[in-house]
Amino acid sequence: MSSRITGSMILPFLRTASATDPDSRRVRLEDEVTSLFDQFRNPLLRYLWNLGLTLPDGEEILQDVFLSLFQHLDRGKPLYDARGWLFRVAHNLALKRRGRTRRDSESREQACFEGLAVDPDPNPEDRLASSQTQQRLMAVVRALPEQDRRCLFLRAEGLRYSEIAGVLDMSPAAISLSLSRSLARLARSTERHNL
Amino acid sequence: MKYADPHLTDQELLLEIEGTASGQNEKPTRAHLDGCWKCLARRKDLENAITDFVHVCQREFDTELPPAAGPRALLRARLAQLAATEPAPRSSWAMVWRGLTSIAAVCGVLALGLILSRFSVGWRNPSGAQSGIVSTPDSRLTPGATLLIDRPAVCTQPDTKNKAVPAALQRKVFEEYGIPGADPRAYEVDYLVTPALGGADDIHNLWPHSYSATAWNARVKDALEDRLREMVCDGSLDLSEAQRDIATNWIAAYKKYFHTDKPLAEHCRGCGR
């Protein structure tokens, strides 16, 4: 059973395998799910936020994600890549939630990017320049196709190509193409202004 | 004669930057980069784009990020509820055995149903509250519910007394527990996780706790709630652990935190022992 869950970041899960009493096994499982929550709550919440969800909606989805994880493991199902699993479930729940509150999330997403654009910076020129770079960068991100944006955000959270492929149901080659296309656009946007 | 572009594509450059993250072999591109300043410059541009993107995303988000303590405590409490309410998974032979026993049980229930229908006995009383004495909540009806709240918020609440539950909601709780005609003076419609510990104002967190006729009555639980809050606020007990203990089995929690097997005398005025 020690091969049920693999990966250097999730070694604490291996302890559960040795617990044979159902009650103590569940207590350990609760501890381990909480430990994963501590490890992945911020990256997951940031990803959901970048998808256009509000923070309270994101927190609510994360509760469901980690309760699902508990049930998944409690039923003895394998978990080979905890990070990929968590992002995939969070992504799917977020899309369902966004489908229900489309208008709200679009306006929030817009507000997020506009918040950057109107960031009042009273400080000297270099900070102003930095703010302008941010504005340009986010304008380019906003103009990207949605799937390309998701690839970028997932990669920024440290997911490998194979993990992103699992979350977005794309091939690793398509992920590579998407990321290179997006980053080339970002690079060109700052390059033009720096020259 | 037309020559192919000798330079690396953006995708090849990115794969070289990403290395093992992409799962690709970067060696052929490395050889090209060793001799091509143009591609080296483009590679640097891509790296800068990655750096800028990550900084912008994280900087903006980190200013908005709320603390994790509240959501973490909520998750702990909900996990405890889930573990308490869901049957433990069984091994495959046990599943087969369970299937056979289920068939036998269905037959038994049908026979029992026929007998009970003769005597018009109600079936909606999962807590065993038909006797009118309730000292522990039914976890199916009252799994407990908590608010998204952390320790500082709990400990700075000005009023720790439980809010009165509206009469209509009290009636609903009595109905759920199969005692619709109960005398409200004999029960405290009680919060399983008290609001003073972050409990929610929700029917899933309410149950009819008898004031008398048992040692483990509502006054004893009130004493436990006060004790747990003191411990949470003086830092000797984690909020999530307090919520979990009281939601899972408040009597066991009382024994644990008061180091006793029966209610202390000062908590037990009116106990029907």
**Contact at CB, A38 and B11, closer than 8 angstroms:** no
User: What mean pLDDT is predicted for residues A23-39?
Assistant: 88
Check if B76 contacts A (Cβ < 8 Å): yes
* Chain A environment of B15 (Cβ under 8 Å): 176, 180
**What is the band of B262 on the pLDDT scale with cuts at 50, 70, 90?**
confident
Check if B67 contacts A (Cβ < 8 Å): no
Q: Mean pLDDT highest for which of B111-115, B157-161, B191-195?
A: B191-195
* Chain A environment of B38 (Cβ under 8 Å): none
When the pLDDT of each residue in chain B is averaged and rounded to a whole number, the result is 75
The whole-number pLDDT of residue B204 equals 82
**Contact at CB, A30 and B83, closer than 8 angstroms:** yes
Among B9, B53, B86, whose Cβ lies nearest the Cβ of A137?
B53
Overall size of chain A counted in residues: 195
- Residue in chain B lying closest to A115 (CA): B60
pLDDT more than 70, % of chain A? 69
Among A22, A134, A187, whose Cβ lies nearest the Cβ of B45?
A187
* Chain B environment of A67 (Cβ under 8 Å): 75, 78-79, 82
**Contact at CB, A156 and B82, closer than 8 angstroms:** no
**Contact at CB, B15 and A176, closer than 8 angstroms:** yes
Task: Let me know: does A83 contact A6? Beta carbons within 8 Å.
Answer: no
Task: Indicate whether A84 pLDDT > 90.
Answer: yes
The whole-number pLDDT of residue B116 equals 40
How buried is B186 (Cβ within 10 angstroms: 0-12 exposed, 13-18 middle, 19+ buried)? middle
- Residue in chain A lying closest to B62 (CA): A46
**What is the band of A145 on the pLDDT scale with cuts at 50, 70, 90?**
very high
How close does chain B come to A100, measured CA to CA in Å?
A: 23
Two structure tokens written together for A94: 């977020």
The whole-number pLDDT of residue A125 equals 65
User: What mean pLDDT is predicted for residues B233-254?
Assistant: 86
Give the domain ranges of chain A.
1-103, 110-195
User: What mean pLDDT is predicted for residues B119-138?
Assistant: 50
Task: Indicate whether A170 pLDDT > 60.
Answer: yes
The whole-number pLDDT of residue A16 equals 43
Task: Let me know: does B246 contact B192? Beta carbons within 8 Å.
Answer: yes
When the pLDDT of each residue in chain A is averaged and rounded to a whole number, the result is 77
Task: Indicate whether A60 pLDDT > 70.
Answer: yes
What does the DSSP assignment read for B78-140? Answer: HHHHHHHHSPPP--HHHHHHHHHHHHHHHHHHHHHHHHHHHTT-----TT-GGGS---S--TT
Check if A170 contacts B (Cβ < 8 Å): no
Task: Indicate whether B252 pLDDT > 80.
Answer: yes
Task: Indicate whether A27 pLDDT > 70.
Answer: yes
Check if B107 contacts A (Cβ < 8 Å): no
* Chain B environment of A64 (Cβ under 8 Å): none
How close does chain A come to B75, measured CA to CA in Å?
A: 6
Fold of A110-195: Arc Repressor Mutant, subunit A (1.10.10)
**Contact at CB, B49 and A187, closer than 8 angstroms:** yes
Best A16, A23, A26 residue to mutate vs chain B (most B CBs within 10 Å): A26
**What is the band of A18 on the pLDDT scale with cuts at 50, 70, 90?**
very low
User: What mean pLDDT is predicted for residues B15-39?
Assistant: 74
The whole-number pLDDT of residue B1 equals 45
Element (H, E) at A121: none
The whole-number pLDDT of residue B146 equals 76
Give the predicted TM-score (pTM) of the model. 0.54
Among A59, A152, A187, whose Cβ lies nearest the Cβ of B46?
A187
Inter-chain Cβ pairs, chain A and chain B, closer than 8 A: 130
3 state DSSP class of B64: coil
User: What mean pLDDT is predicted for residues A55-65?
Assistant: 93
**Contact at CB, B79 and A70, closer than 8 angstroms:** yes
- The terminus-to-terminus CA distance of chain B in angstroms comes to 105
What are A133-143's pLDDT values in tens digits?
777 888 888 89
- β-sheet bridge partners, residue A16: none
